[in-house]
Amino acid sequence: MLVKFFFLLREAGVPATIPEFLALLEALRAGLADASAERFYYLARACLVKDERHYDRFDRAFAAHFRGIEGALATLARELPADWLARLEEARLSEEEKARIRALGGWEALMRALRERLAEQTARHQGGSKWIGTAGTSPFGAYGYNPEGVRIGQDGSRQRRATKVWDRREFANLDGDVELGTRNMKLALRRLRRYARSGAADELALGETIDATARSGGWLDVKMVPQRRNVVKVLLLLDVGGSMDEHVRVSAELFSAARAEFKHLEQYYFHNFPYERLWRDNRRRTELGVDTFELLRTYARDYRLVVVGDATMSPYEITEVGGSVEHWNAESGETWLRRLLQAYPRHVWINPQPEALWDGTRSIAITRGLLEGRMFPLTLSGLDAAIAELG
Amino acid sequence: MGRSFDGTDRYIATPELATAVNAAVVLGRPLLIKGEPGTGKTLLAEEIARSLDKPLFEWHVKSTTKAQQGLYEYDAVSRLRDSQLGDVRVQDIRHYIVKGNLWEAFESDVQPVLLIDEIDKADIEFPNDLLRELDRMEFYVYETRETVRARHRPIIVITSNNEKELPDAFLRRCFFHYIRFPDEETMTKIVDVHFPGLKRDLVAEALRTFFRLREAPGLKKKPTTSELLDWIRLLVAEDIAPEALRGDDARSLLPPLYGALLKNEQDVHLLEQLVFLSRRNAR
């Protein structure tokens, strides 16, 4: 029975291994679970899950296995992306709304129905009266006008008091694919450190000093080495075009994290797509800015190019001469991006737009083609992948 | 088997935490603790030692800490100096082997508790260098060609703030628990053990203000448990009445002594604006 659970966990994306599973069995034999379901749940979690980002997956697998509902199993593979129901406004259920929910049979009944319906539905849905999605009148989804609705993907739902621990899924927002704060970004960026000893020799090299002293027959012979420094150089291009407005906060966070993390960081701004001019300071965007050729001449090939932009625009702005919405560009955006990519062989494009929307937007598909796939979403795992690509 | 751990008179352990601790104690595996700052990760080892009546060894890790330092260090410079001064001690290399915390814990006469604090601060390779030591509870001293074995498998508590990912091989050998931010009920218990006999209404008001503050959108740094306790300490010292904490006091926009809860001026400013807006809407 537990073997099945173990495989279900692995299927659900919890990277549990055989020694960990054996440790759980050992703990059970030692009588630590004490015939209590809750204790068993805690014990299994402590043994099998080693990262709080996987707690949510564990909770779902646990619920599915130990309730034995076939339908819930199907939902497991197809989790609701948080951005699917991304919250646009802050509004909570009022007291009378809560009373109405109780009148409908309470949360338990609603959640059960929700689970069943989740199993039926596979696509994002908006409007309508049955499927789960946004802005509809079905009882399930968010931002709808049905007061007895269940909010999915809402942060503060503390109403599910009576449910089991693992059903509360309190760790949902710790999953690795959720958007990240500055601190997490800094940690992700930190992986791009490349240390090298450079500059003045101002650090005592103890091992070498001892060695040299021993060689010179006991006379102290002090050896010095330069300090270790992070030598990674980053050239950051940030989109500040109109469609980026909704990503301003997360882009600003990325920027502040990058500035704290890299000593050699040069940042420039562009509007929608990089053309022949870039801007050093966004507030003075009416000024002429910097010639992109000058940028290419100034920064050497060993800079790593990071472009942050949603790449969401009319395709003409990329492919056509004169396609820019702000000025007449003598050469197409495509030409300019190619030049940049060629000048800096280590490059990535980080896109704050949810990955699920990429295929549906032509300009993103074009940009991705230009980058030969080196476009990553602005999530913790996306940033990790991007850093690995740059490293 | 000896006693099991379920918190102490000054440390509230949730059942989930107690289960993880007891599993680690019984099976003799290290327990890895993560969680928000100020949720008592470091304190846990201290309290386990106190409640199970065992000696505590603490190893605080810094960014420059090497795994070897926990085992032992060979003080070559002293030996060099002694040799130049003609000291006879120089003949025996054992005089220059300085024992680390891990060695000390291994030598303990009774089963000790060993805290490895903030393991993520060290170099990425650090946990990998300790795999065998934590697994077999033994290590080899090259200088003297001897193997040091633990007399009693120590109870090892490792804390991490998630600054670096820990290697899988290391994680496999540990039990893991993530201390999540306490809910209001647990928080009341925590305040109770720290300030027994505190006026009920003051605690209730303080907690309400605290949780409302944590929910304020966009705060750079949310106040933590330890900051709440500091704040309550101040409230008691200043003898603030519970009524003063209530939001409807129009005289001040921010809770009294807010400096204990909010640690940067942007947050203070943000809160002022929020409070101002909500007042205006309420009217």
Segment B68-88, tens digit of pLDDT? 888 999 888 888 888 888 888
Confirm whether B4 is domain-assigned: no
Confirm whether B7 is domain-assigned: no
Mean pLDDT, to the nearest integer, of B46-66? 90
Strand partners of residue B35? B179
Same domain for B57 and B33: yes
Beta strand A224-230 with B72-74: parallel, antiparallel or unpaired?
unpaired
Burial track B7-22 (b if 16+ CB lie within 10 A, e otherwise): bbeebbbbebbbbbbb
Residue A310: exposure state from Cβ atoms within 10 A (0-12, 13-18, ≥19): buried
Q: Output the six-digit token pair for A26.
A: 């050992």
Residues 6+ apart with CB under 8 A from B108: B55, B57, B151, B152, B154
CA B15 to chain centre: 18
Confirm whether B8 is domain-assigned: no
Helix (H, G, I), strand (E, B) or coil at A235: strand
Of A39, A47, A55, which has the smallest distance from its Cβ to B175's Cβ? A47
Q: What is the DSSP letter of A271?
A: S
Same domain for B124 and B230: no
Report pLDDT for A140. Answer: 47
Which residue type does A229 have?
R
- For the segment B146-198, what is each residue's pLDDT rounded down to a tens digit? 999 999 899 999 998 877 778 888 888 889 998 888 888 888 888 888 888 77
Same domain for B196 and B142: no
Q: Output the six-digit token pair for B156.
A: 């090892």
B26 or A246: which leads in pLDDT: B26
Confirm whether B70 is domain-assigned: yes
Q: How many Cβ atoms sit within 10 Å of the Cβ of residue B139?
A: 22
Please identify, among B158, B179, B200, the residue that sits at the C-terminal boundary of a domain.
Answer: B179
**Across the interface, do B22 and A49 touch by the CB < 8 Å criterion?**
no
Contact with chain A for residue B126, Cβ under 8 A? no
Instruction: Give the number of domains in chain B.
Output: 2
* ipTM field: 0.74
Chain A residue with CA closest to B120: the answer is A187
Which residue type does B255 have?
P
Q: How far is CA B145 from CA B68, B139, B142, in A?
A: 16, 11, 5
Chain A residues within 8 angstroms (CB to CB) of chain B: 15, 17, 19-20, 23, 26-27, 30, 32, 38-39, 42-43, 45-47, 49-52, 55, 90, 156, 165, 170-171, 187, 190, 206, 210, 213, 218
Task: Decide: A383 and A185 in contact? Cβ < 8 Å.
Answer: yes
**Across the interface, do A210 and B76 touch by the CB < 8 Å criterion?**
yes
Same domain for B189 and B166: no
Q: How many Cβ atoms sit within 10 Å of the Cβ of residue B182?
A: 19
Collect all residues of chain A within an 8 Å Cβ-Cβ radius of residue B15.
38-39, 42
Q: How far is B71 from chain A (nearest CA, A)?
A: 19
Strand partners of residue A375? A349
Report pLDDT for B224. Answer: 85
Chain A residue with CA closest to B17: the answer is A42
Task: Decide: B92 and B151 in contact? Cβ < 8 Å.
Answer: no
Q: What is the CA radius of gyration of chain B?
A: 24
CATH code where residue B95 lies: 3.40.50.300
Same domain for B37 and B86: yes
**CA nearest to B35, candidates B202, B223, B208, B162:** B162
**Across the interface, do B29 and A19 touch by the CB < 8 Å criterion?**
no
Please identify, among B179, B201, B231, the residue that sits at the C-terminal boundary of a domain.
Answer: B179
Q: Where in the sequence is the domain holding B243, given as residue range(s)?
A: 184-282
Same domain for B169 and B247: no
What pLDDT tens digit does each residue of chain A (391 aa) get? Answer: 688 888 888 888 888 888 888 888 888 888 887 767 788 888 888 889 888 878 888 888 888 887 754 444 344 334 433 333 333 333 344 555 556 555 555 545 555 565 555 555 544 444 444 444 444 444 444 433 343 444 444 333 333 333 456 666 666 555 554 445 556 666 667 766 666 676 777 788 888 888 888 887 777 888 888 877 777 888 888 887 766 777 777 777 777 777 777 778 888 888 888 888 888 776 656 667 788 888 888 888 888 898 888 888 888 888 888 877 777 788 888 889 988 988 898 899 988 888 888 888 888 888 888 888 889 888 778 888 888 888 7
Confirm whether B3 is domain-assigned: no
Please identify, among B124, B152, B179, the residue that sits at the C-terminal boundary of a domain.
Answer: B179
Of B77, B176, B180, which has the smallest distance from its Cβ to A170's Cβ? B180
DSSP for A325-343? SSS--SS-HHHHHHHHHHH
Which residue type does A378 have?
L
Helix (H, G, I), strand (E, B) or coil at B139: strand
**CA nearest to B231, candidates B204, B206, B205, B250:** B206
Same domain for B263 and B126: no
Confirm whether B1 is domain-assigned: no
Chain B residue with CA closest to A52: the answer is B178
Same domain for B190 and B125: no
Which residue type does B66 have?
K
Q: How many Cβ atoms sit within 10 Å of the Cβ of residue B278?
A: 10
Report pLDDT for B56. Answer: 93
Residues 6+ apart with CB under 8 A from A197: A225, A226, A227, A228, A229
Beta strand A224-230 with A195-204: parallel, antiparallel or unpaired?
antiparallel
Residues 6+ apart with CB under 8 A from B121: B61, B62, B63, B65, B161, B163
- For the segment B191-203, what is each residue's pLDDT rounded down to a tens digit? 888 888 777 778 8
**Across the interface, do A23 and B29 touch by the CB < 8 Å criterion?**
yes
Report pLDDT for A251. Answer: 75
Greatest mean pLDDT among A113-117, A227-231, B34-38, B135-139 lies in B135-139
What residue segments make up the domains of chain A, in order of their start? 2-77, 201-229, 232-390
Confirm whether B9 is domain-assigned: no
Same domain for B100 and B30: yes
Contact with chain A for residue B258, Cβ under 8 A? no
Q: How far is B59 from chain A (nearest CA, A)?
A: 22
E strands, B145-225, in order:
146-149, 155-159, 175-179
Same domain for B152 and B67: yes
Same domain for B175 and B202: no
Same domain for B128 and B37: yes
Top-level class of domain A232-390: alpha beta
Task: Decide: A289 and A303 in contact? Cβ < 8 Å.
Answer: no
